[in-house]
Amino acid sequence: MAEKPSDPLGVWRDLLSQWETSANAIANKAMATDQFSGSMNQVMNVTLQAQQQLGEIMARYLATLNLPSRTDLASLGEQLAAIEARLGQIAGILERQAAAQGTTRRRQGARTPQAAKAPAPIPMPPRTKRPPPEGP
Q: Which residues, other chains included, contact 59 with Cβ-Cβ below 8 Å and sequence gap of 6+?
A: 69, 71
- Residue 25 pLDDT: 92
Provide φ and ψ at 51, rounded to 5°. Answer: -65, -40
CA gap 11, 4 in Å, rounded = 11
- Residue 109 pLDDT: 54
Q: What is the pTM of this model?
A: 0.41
- Residue 112 pLDDT: 54
Q: What is the maximum span of the chain, computed from C-alpha positions, in angstroms?
A: 119
Cβ atoms within 10 Å of 130's Cβ, excluding its own:
6
Helix (H), strand (E) counts: the chain: 4, 0
- Residue 102 pLDDT: 76
Q: How far is CA 70 from CA 4, 55, 99, in A?
A: 63, 9, 43
- Residue 92 pLDDT: 93
pLDDT tens for each residue of 100-128 = 887 665 555 545 555 556 677 778 778 78
Q: How far is CA 136 from the centre of its chain?
A: 67
Q: Which residues of the chain, if any, have pLDDT below 50?
A: 1, 110
